[in-house]
Amino acid sequence: MKGVVLAGGSGTRLKPLTEITNKHLLPIYDKPMISWAIGTLVSAGIDELMLVTGGTHAGEFLRLLGNGHNYGLERLLYAYQDKPGGIAEALGLAERFVGNDPVLVMLADNIVEYSVRHAVDNFNANPNGARIVLSKIDEPEHLKHLGVPELIDGKVVNIIEKPDNPPSSFCVTGIYMYDSSVFEIIKTLKPSGRGELEITDVNNHFIQKSAMAYDILEGFWGDAGESIDAYWKVNDFVRINGANKEK
């Protein structure tokens, strides 16, 4: 399995912290945010990775990460997204890198307490279709700002973005696994109302084909790019508890 870490976006929800840098270069406790995302993939057994970024600070990732060897990677490639076009568009830039292999895609502002190796192992056991990673959310109001799966008889039947009435108490984290057919799906997408190719449309495509599975995270999950308050909540958690730990 290959890995793709998405570290683009303008970081508007973290301004003014992001006025002069990419949000994924901001610190989470004692490391840049991007380092934790790479650590998530490495702890799951993935050592070939493409980082997709954009904007005026893209070169800083190369300065920080180099060839990736110091982070446990055998191979690290880079891709540049010319303008914000959505998560699915950014993933599409990795098509040649991924080839016919399965791929784990991670949004670089996601932080997890425990390794996701179990989810990777589950997908590798049957590397067809898609697999998403869910997290239990205790605050219903928070769910209204996230992607929420509708679950029936243990299956995901739909994913709704920012629902007024969340159909479950879980959110879809920014960790996704796909077979290589994902790139053909991306080519069929139409931009959403905000002019982007949406990863939820990709996931719902797999759902419609009855080709979607899921795992539920244990422990903490946080989106450090969601807001200033969320950023500091994630910082505090990692400072006290760490991240990417083995169970």
CATH of the domain at 123: 3.90.550.10
- What pLDDT score was predicted for residue 194? 87
What percentage of the chain carries pLDDT values higher than 90?
Answer: 94
Within-domain flag for 214: yes
pTM of this prediction? 0.95
Within-domain flag for 107: yes
Within-domain flag for 57: yes
Q: Are strands 103-107 and 2-6 parallel, antiparallel or unpaired?
A: parallel
- Is 212 within 8 Å of 131 (Cβ atoms)? yes
Q: And the tokens for 146? A: 């996230």
- Is 203 within 8 Å of 174 (Cβ atoms)? no
pLDDT band at 132 (very low <50, low <70, confident <90, very high): very high
Within-domain flag for 109: yes
- What pLDDT score was predicted for residue 183? 98
- What pLDDT score was predicted for residue 66? 97
* Closest residue by Cα to residue 173 from 80, 104, 232, 233: 104
Q: Running DSSP on this structure, what letter comes out for residue 245?
A: B
Within-domain flag for 48: yes
Query: What is the b/e burial string over 152-190, where b = at least 16 CB atoms within 10 angstroms of the residue's CB?
Result: eeeebebbbeebeebbbebbbbbbbbbbebbbebbeebe
- What pLDDT score was predicted for residue 193? 87
Mean pLDDT of the region 105-134: 98
- Is 149 within 8 Å of 156 (Cβ atoms)? yes
Cα gap 246→117, rounded to integer Å: 9
Cα gap 187→53, rounded to integer Å: 20
- E strand segments, 68-201: 75-81, 103-107, 110-112, 130-136, 147-152, 155-161, 170-178
What is the tally of structural domains in the chain? 1
**Would you give the distance in Å from CA 231 to the centre of its chain?**
16
- What pLDDT score was predicted for residue 220? 98
The residue ranking higher by pLDDT, 125 or 194, is: 125
* Closest residue by Cα to residue 221 from 56, 75, 111: 111
Within-domain flag for 247: no
- What pLDDT score was predicted for residue 247? 82
Q: What is the pLDDT of residues 210-247, one digit of tens each?
A: 999 999 999 999 999 999 999 999 999 999 999 999 98
Q: Which domain holds residue 166?
A: 2-241
Q: What is the pLDDT of residues 164-198, one digit of tens each?
A: 999 999 999 999 999 999 999 999 999 998 889 99
Q: What is the pLDDT of residues 107-121, one digit of tens each?
A: 999 999 999 999 999
Cα gap 53→11, rounded to integer Å: 12
Mean pLDDT is lowest, of 8-17, 137-146, 158-167, for: 8-17
* Closest residue by Cα to residue 112 from 223, 209, 201: 223
Within-domain flag for 37: yes
Cα gap 23→12, rounded to integer Å: 9
Within-domain flag for 246: no
Q: And the tokens for 88? A: 């699915």
